[in-house]
Amino acid sequence: MKYRFHLVDVFSSTPFGGNQLAILPDATGISTEGMQKIAREFNFPESTFVLPKSDPANYRVRIFTPRAELNFAGHPTIGTACALVMKQHARTVDPIRLILEENIGPVMVDVAQRNGGYFGTLTLSGKIDAPAGAPAPADLAAVLSIEPAEVSQSFFAGVGVPFCFAQLKSNEAVDRAAVDRAAWKATLSRAWSSNLFFFAGELRDGGHLYARMCAPALGVEEDPATGSACAALVGAMASKHDFCGRAYRLSIRQGVSMGRQSEIEAEARNIGGVVTSVSVGGATAYIASGEIEVPPSALTS
């Protein structure tokens, strides 16, 4: 049976940058195992499958890496919303709000035209998971094959998807880092999160960061853009007791060393010392559409 698909690049305003995404806009009848096989076939960091709505105003969306299903992810959420708007409202100039029903729950995405292209911003409630017990900077330095003195701090945080964060002291150290699989297995494979997001730059409101992300357990050796990590990071920073502002914003560049530069905007809202919401935004560039032949073994009976 043939199924329509779209390919887009997320967190990039121009084609062949950002993070690649495959979307099946109507995945009715495909089994969970079939979705996983299709995601493995596309072999992008994530692929999404849009299913019949439980609410007429919403879209039910499932997200898969080549190896596992995710409850939530940033670039698939934004890319799917933008692709749906591109194909269904091609001439619109007014912002459109979509609700994507993901495994984490409803995710609001606002899609608008910006500079002739499409820009999506997702918003989540402000519940930030930030457990103690992250590996020591020296241990993460071994995972990244860099010197211990090049790691400033490490911590855990997550919004739907957990991450281990490591702040490095220079962009050059970020570029030079290479994951040592034996050290990763010993340090992170059984930790609260084995997904490693490492970055350089100032962690302050309005700061600019330079980042990379590796998630070997999910089958993602390196991710060109990681919206869920940026949401967790900005939320964790806005949750700190010494932050007194109402909004904490970060701009993140990722994927540069891969030749797929991504530009991500992240913001957390803080009212009375409590983070009420986090949002992540970026552009989406259309690449292609086509059909994939899905065999009967990948369909529901």
From CA 118, how far away is CA 109, in angstroms rounded? 12
Q: In terms of domains, do 267 and 172 share one? A: yes
* Number of other CB atoms surrounding residue 245 within 10 Å: 11
232 in a domain, yes or no?
yes
Q: What pLDDT is stored for residue 92 in this prediction?
A: 59
223: closest CA among 191, 194, 262? Answer: 262
- Domain range for 168 is 137-282
Q: What pLDDT is stored for residue 90 in this prediction?
A: 57
130 in a domain, yes or no?
no
- Helices 74-88/227-238 angle, 10° precision: 120
267 in a domain, yes or no?
yes
- Look up residue 182 and give its two tokens: 């034996």
Q: Which run of H or E residues covers position 87?
A: helix 74-88
Is position 46 annotated as part of the catalytic site?
yes
- One pLDDT digit (tens) per residue for the chain, 301 residues: 999 999 999 999 999 999 999 999 999 999 999 999 999 999 999 999 999 877 777 899 999 999 999 999 999 999 999 999 998 765 656 789 999 999 998 999 999 998 888 999 999 987 899 999 999 999 999 999 999 999 999 999 999 899 999 999 999 999 999 999 999 999 999 999 999 999 999 999 999 999 999 999 988 999 999 999 999 999 999 998 778 888 999 999 999 999 999 999 999 998 888 899 999 999 999 999 999 999 999 999 7
From CA 178, how far away is CA 214, in angstroms rounded? 10
Query: CB–CB of 203/212 below 8 Å?
Result: no
CATH assignment of the domain containing 44: 3.10.310.10
Q: In terms of domains, do 290 and 268 share one? A: no
Q: In terms of domains, do 226 and 98 share one? A: no
Q: In terms of domains, do 192 and 114 share one? A: no
Q: What pLDDT is stored for residue 52 in this prediction?
A: 81
65 in a domain, yes or no?
yes
Q: What pLDDT is stored for residue 272 in this prediction?
A: 83
Q: Which of these is catalytic: 33, 46, 150, 222? A: 46
From CA 50, how far away is CA 29, in angstroms rounded? 11
Query: CB–CB of 6/85 below 8 Å?
Result: no
From CA 279, how far away is CA 265, in angstroms rounded? 8
Q: In terms of domains, do 153 and 239 share one? A: yes
Q: What pLDDT is stored for residue 91 in this prediction?
A: 60
pTM above 0.85, yes or no: yes
